Chains A and B, each alone.
Chain A
Amino acid sequence: MKFIHQVSKGSLYNQIYIPKEAENIFEAGDIVEVKLLKKKSFLYFSKALKNIGEFKEKLVKEIFSFLVKFSEIKQVFTVGSFLTEKVDYNDIDLLIITEKKINGIEEKVYTQLIDKFQLRFHIISFPESSFLNLQNICPLTRSMLYYFVSNKKFEISQETKIDKQHLQFLLMMPEDLLKIKANSRIFYDNIRRLVTLSNFLENKSLNPVEISKKTSVLVGNFLCSQLRNNELINENDIEFLRKIIKKYLNKIRKKL
């Protein structure tokens, strides 16, 4: 005979009760095997995120529950537009924290998630030590973690640090856009990046929704929509965008 029960909390140990109708089969002293069938999953939301709707919540729970089998994963976050946009999201961004650096973990998790859920995922992984440091020095990571759902409690560190090298690395792409041609969406992403960097240096909000609004005000609603949809734009628009980039680069460089 077998039965399925929930583990309950005892005063000393967690316990499983034998159902009344099976008490004569499972007697004290008998030897049994206990196997984990489904991990209980709690969701922890960032302060700024109120709810994500029933369907998304159920899906995130299922994803987290599925990821339990990867013992190397210490914590998982869902971040990005999947949480902030009602329907207008491209993929489900997952941030995976591991105890140490594991080569190939992203591909391994990605392949299995695709097989199981048949949805589009984007996976980033960090070893725990790096992740802790990244929280302090990276404006883009801090902005990304403004809205999250995680399988464990998490609060972003209030301590920030200016890492000049890191910021210079992040500035490379916007600087390059002053001299190279690129798809219009790249311009949008990099102007957003500059707004985020600038806000970080000025201790302003890194709320990605507000940053998107600010970007939209900067470039204008119509052009902004063209950029977001990666539509073809004319030379005048490119020059206009380069002026914005230049302005922000100067502003940021002065603070570094």
Chain B
Amino acid sequence: MNRSKTIHELTNILAIALRHKIGSIVNQNEIYAQKYAKDSEILLKQAEKIVCSKNWNSQDKEMIKEELKKKLSIELEKKPFLDIKKFDVMENEISNALKMLNLN
């Protein structure tokens, strides 16, 4: 798979993983959040596999970050049942995820 296709695949899965994660954060007072936060962990593991398949330079990392921001914003927009605070925690969660994947 070429580099840009891999970046698309990675950002797709990361956007979904972070949507799950953010869902469990903003619905923290909701009872189901803690139990289902693991959906996000499963997806982050999938993303990790893709990350490990290539070496990433700083340009790639910047591209991943920008593409992820756009996709995650769309993902969150599409789920009106997630609390509106979702957009406030977005930046922080992107940074955390990229740091965890050594893509910062």
Chain A's interface: helix, strand, loop or mixed, by majority? helix
B27: chain A residues at CB < 8 Å are 169
Given known pairs A173-B20, A176-B16, the reply for A165 and B81 (CB within 8 Å) is yes
Is B62's beta carbon under 8 Å from chain A? no
When C-beta atoms are compared, the residue in chain B nearest to A95 turns out to be: B35
Is A138's beta carbon under 8 Å from chain B? yes
B12 pairs with A180, CB closer than 8 A: yes
Q: Which residues of B contact A (CB under 8 A)?
A: 12-13, 16, 19-20, 23, 27, 30-32, 34-36, 39, 42-43, 46, 79, 81-82
Looking at the assembled complex, report how far the CB atom of B48 sits from the nearest CB atom of chain A, in whole angstroms. 13
A169 pairs with B16, CB closer than 8 A: no
A126 pairs with B13, CB closer than 8 A: no
Q: Mark A146-188, 1 if CB is under 8 A from B, else 0.
A: 0000000000000000001110111011001001111100100
Given known pairs A180-B13, A180-B43, the reply for A124 and B35 (CB within 8 Å) is yes
B39: chain A residues at CB < 8 Å are 172-173
B31 pairs with A180, CB closer than 8 A: no
Looking at the assembled complex, report how far the CB atom of A99 sits from the nearest CB atom of chain B, in whole angstroms. 15
Complexed CA–CA distance, A56 and B19 (Å): 39
Given known pairs A180-B12, A180-B13, the reply for A169 and B46 (CB within 8 Å) is no
Listed residue (B13, B31, B36, B43) with the most chain A CB atoms within 10 angstroms of its CB: B31
Given known pairs A172-B79, A180-B16, the reply for A138 and B46 (CB within 8 Å) is no
Q: Which residues of A contact B (CB under 8 A)?
A: 124-126, 130-131, 133-134, 138, 140-141, 164-166, 168-170, 172-173, 176, 179-183, 186
B42 pairs with A169, CB closer than 8 A: no
B43 pairs with A130, CB closer than 8 A: no
Between-chain CB contacts (< 8 Å), 24 pairs:
A126-B31, A130-B31, A131-B31, A133-B31, A134-B31, A164-B81, A165-B81, A166-B30, A166-B32, A168-B81, A169-B23, A170-B32, A172-B20, A172-B23, A172-B79, A173-B36, A173-B39, A176-B16, A180-B16, A180-B43, A180-B46, A182-B43, A183-B46, A186-B42
A138 pairs with B32, CB closer than 8 A: yes
B34: chain A residues at CB < 8 Å are 124-125
When C-beta atoms are compared, the residue in chain A nearest to B16 turns out to be: A176
Complexed CA–CA distance, A226 and B81 (Å): 34
A179: chain B residues at CB < 8 Å are 12
Complexed CA–CA distance, A90 and B9 (Å): 32
Listed residue (B23, B27, B32) with the most chain A CB atoms within 10 angstroms of its CB: B32
Given known pairs A134-B31, A176-B16, A180-B16, the reply for A170 and B42 (CB within 8 Å) is no
B12: chain A residues at CB < 8 Å are 179-180
Complexed CA–CA distance, A183 and B48 (Å): 13
Listed residue (B43, B46, B81) with the most chain A CB atoms within 10 angstroms of its CB: B81
Complexed CA–CA distance, A186 and B13 (Å): 14
When C-beta atoms are compared, the residue in chain B nearest to A140 turns out to be: B35
